[in-house]
Amino acid sequence: MNSKERVLAAFEFRRPDRIPRFDGFWEYPDSWAERFGPREDQTDISIWVPDEGVFPSRVRVLEETAEHTIRVDSWGRTVRRHRGAHFDEVLAVPIPDGVDPDTVQFDPPDLPLRFERGQSETVGSRDLARDKARFCVFGKTGGPFLRTSFVRGETQFLMDMAGDPPLARALVDKLADHFIGIARAQIERWCLQETGVWIYDDMAMNQGPMFSPASFEQVLLPAYRRMVREYRAAGARYVMFHSDGNILPVLDMLVDAGIDGINPMERRAGMDPATIRARHPRLILTGGICNVETLPHGPAERIEREARELIDMGRDGGVVIGPHSIGPDVPIDNYAVYRRTCLQYGVLA
């Protein structure tokens, strides 16, 4: 099987030739490439990402000094990043408290620059064809919680959810409309009908979601139902969901909304794959390897045990193994144990 056949077999709950992998890296040093081969050989899935911001036409730098850069990003936020920092400091948002959301008009979802990925159309088409020959390629949109917090401000949006649910719902619906348009455009442009789209919406901490299940049901669930329905109507075969943290308190509702599978199942947050499989036998599980304790610290026996548990769970499909992400704190020898287990024990047919 090639990567696409392997992943789709797993998604269809059929036995693949080997366990599919979805390994992502913060960086991939030369020493890793020398030992394991190209970075691209470590995964079966590629996520193609458009510029999904609501204002990509407004991106600009406002100030650049030796200490920091201040710019307007594609979400319309004014942000500052200090030299050497990994995250932005948000200075202003496009829909602050007191601004009527109906007065704010987003850039069109089918704007060509969203899909150029910094390349000409010819180069983009070539790269897409190359990736489709090598990986199982999916599209991606954000989700209604995190992206609404981008345009509203995280604290203000959480206050809206708790104190003014109708306003929060209106904001969420506006973002859902935006994502539906982007999903339609990328499914058509990138011919993703055989695969589908992943919704990335980080909404949880290790202890649970950043809001109550009741707030999710009232504010976010209607948008999720509509997004999944419209993504499928646009041709997506699968709609997958990504969130860090513990999403168990809202998982049943996500499944009810039509989500086909979840990622990354962070064990440190209580997202135990065996428990989730027992609760949802037909939910596609991707991830499941702990990148906080198991991969960084081992020992080898624990890494192998964790990987073999997932491989056994996926012998008749339904599982794509992988860590949430692989950072510089993961020793090369520990990754070698995980990789070897996948390649040797993970042969299923």
User: Please, which pLDDT band fits residue 315 given cuts at 50, 70 and 90?
Assistant: very high
Residue 64 has a CB neighbour count (10 Å cut-off) of: 10
All structural domains of the chain with their residue ranges: 3-52+101-344, 55-93
Q: Are strands 68-72 and 60-64 parallel, antiparallel or unpaired?
A: antiparallel
Express each pLDDT in 229-270 by its tens digit. 999 999 999 999 999 999 999 999 999 999 999 999 999 999
pLDDT in tens, 170-195: 999 999 999 999 999 999 999 999 99
Is residue 346 scored above 90 in pLDDT?
A: yes
| Mean local confidence (pLDDT), 28-38 | 95
Whether residue 121 has pLDDT greater than 80: no
CATH fold of 3-52+101-344 = TIM Barrel (3.20.20)
pLDDT at 111: 94
Q: What is the mean pLDDT of residues 147-164?
A: 98
Contact 273, 211 (CB under 8 A): no
Dihedral pair phi/psi, residue 43, rounded to 5°? -145, 155
- Overall average pLDDT of the 101-130 stretch: 89
Residue 159's pLDDT band (cuts 50, 70, 90)? very high
Among residues 164, 240, 233, which one has the least CA distance to residue 199? 240
Q: Are the C-beta atoms of 318 and 10 separated by less than 8 Å?
A: yes
The answer to which of 97-101, 113-117, 231-235 has the lowest mean pLDDT is: 113-117
Q: What is the DSSP string of 10-60?
A: HHTT---SB--BB--BS---HHHHHHH--GGGGBSEEE------S-GGG-E
